[in-house]
């Protein structure tokens, strides 16, 4: 069971009341009044993200959860971060709206410099990303290597401008009547924005009942086939890094196969 933020964290953010566990957020997100608390994870990333989001101009195309500082002006305390509570709920069935909101967000952050913390991040997702972009070699068990091989064979070099992007859009865009979509829980990557869109499409194809038409509607994006190839290498590699050989149940493999065929059809 998830552990609520301890009293020193509540004190640091000047919060009172009992924390209430929120759905989603990998079971670690809590509400106290109109503030949301969650473990900061990689603190350097959390602090960079908070500084960016606190200064990001408002947009008619999307909302963001503004970070909340501690009483002494910090963005994190005891490994926790805080942000304002936003109206809305995630809806992974609204896939085109998720992608549209993501595109607007990426345009808004397009000129930010590459964050230094990316060089120090070492987790399964960062590893999967580097393998996808041929910055680390493909390595793993037979089931993984068999699943990923067609994608690796189809991968070729591309020349696209990288920028900071949101690497996990589908479950992190909230919708509320009369308000722009809200983009939350931003995992930061330095890749072309079309790759971030491809990750969202790949996820929708694998897990959210999307049809190949979704991929076709976004095929105008730069190097679309190559971005889909890299998106799926990223997800497959991350699964291998997290779960090892035991991750590859028949159900898990079957969830990837149609998406792989869709990606290869655009290469």
Q: How confident is the model at residue 25 (pLDDT cuts 50, 70, 90)?
A: low
The per-residue pLDDT for 43 is: 96
From 51, 86, 121, the end of a domain falls on: 86
Average pLDDT over the chain, rounded to whole? 96
Identify whether 80 is part of a domain.
Answer: yes
DSSP state of 193: H
Identify whether 135 is part of a domain.
Answer: yes
156, 212: one domain: yes
Find how far residue 109's CA is from the centre of its chain: 15
Average pLDDT of the segment spanning 226-241 = 98
Spatial distance between the Cα atoms of 65 and 181, rounded to a whole number of angstroms: 11
**Of residues 24, 1, 5, the one with CA closest to residue 15:** 5
**What's the pTM value of the predicted model, to 2 decimals?**
0.96
Spatial distance between the Cα atoms of 174 and 218, rounded to a whole number of angstroms: 21
154, 195: one domain: yes
Q: Report pLDDT digits (tens) over 146-191.
A: 999 999 999 999 999 999 999 999 999 999 999 999 999 999 999 9
Identify whether 25 is part of a domain.
Answer: yes
User: Is residue 203's pLDDT more than 80?
Assistant: yes
35, 156: one domain: no
Identify whether 175 is part of a domain.
Answer: no
Is the CB of residue 32 less than 8 Å from the CB of residue 17? yes
Structural domain count, the chain = 2
User: Is residue 24's pLDDT more than 90?
Assistant: no
Identify whether 179 is part of a domain.
Answer: no
User: Is residue 1's pLDDT more than 60?
Assistant: no
User: Is residue 195's pLDDT more than 60?
Assistant: yes
Average pLDDT of the segment spanning 28-38 = 95
Spatial distance between the Cα atoms of 135 and 245, rounded to a whole number of angstroms: 22
Residue 17 belongs to what domain range?
7-86
The per-residue pLDDT for 23 is: 85
Q: How confident is the model at residue 224 (pLDDT cuts 50, 70, 90)?
A: very high
User: Is residue 97's pLDDT more than 70?
Assistant: yes
Per DSSP, which regions of 50-124 are E strands? 63-64, 76-77, 80-84, 89-90
User: Is residue 5's pLDDT more than 70?
Assistant: yes
Average pLDDT of the segment spanning 4-15 = 96
Half-sphere exposure of 200 (CA within 13 A, CB side): 30
User: Is residue 27's pLDDT more than 90?
Assistant: no
Average pLDDT of the segment spanning 212-229 = 98
């Amino acid at each position: 069971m998830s552990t609520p933020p301890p009293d020193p964290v509540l004190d640091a953010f000047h919060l009172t009341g009992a924390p209430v566990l929120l759905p989603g957020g990998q079971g670690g997100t809590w509400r106290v009044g109109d503030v949301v608390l969650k473990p900061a994870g990689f603190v350097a990333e959390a602090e960079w993200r908070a500084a960016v989001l606190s200064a990001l101009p408002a947009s008619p195309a999307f909302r963001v959860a503004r970070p909340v500082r501690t009483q002494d002006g910090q963005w994190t305390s005891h490994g926790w971060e805080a942000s304002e509570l936003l109206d809305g709920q995630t809806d992974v069935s609204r896939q085109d709206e998720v992608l549209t909101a993501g595109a607007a967000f990426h345009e808004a952050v397009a000129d930010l410099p590459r964050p230094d913390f990316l060089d120090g991040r070492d987790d399964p997702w960062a590893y999967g990303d580097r393998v996808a972009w041929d910055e680390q070699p493909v390595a793993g068990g037979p089931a993984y290597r068999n699943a990923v091989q067609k994608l690796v064979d189809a991968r070729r070099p591309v020349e696209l401008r990288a920028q900071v992007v949101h690497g996990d859009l589908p479950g992190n865009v909230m919708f509320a009547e009369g308000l722009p979509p809200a983009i939350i829980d931003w995992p930061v990557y330095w890749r072309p924005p079309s790759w971030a869109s491809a990750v969202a499409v790949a996820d929708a194809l694998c897990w959210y009942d999307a049809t190949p038409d979704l991929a076709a509607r976004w095929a105008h994006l730069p190097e679309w086939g190559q971005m889909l190839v890299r998106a799926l290498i990223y997800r497959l590699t991350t699964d291998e890094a997290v779960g090892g050989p035991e991750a590859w149940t028949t159900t898990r493999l079957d969830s990837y196969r149609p998406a792989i065929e869709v990606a290869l059809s655009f290469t």
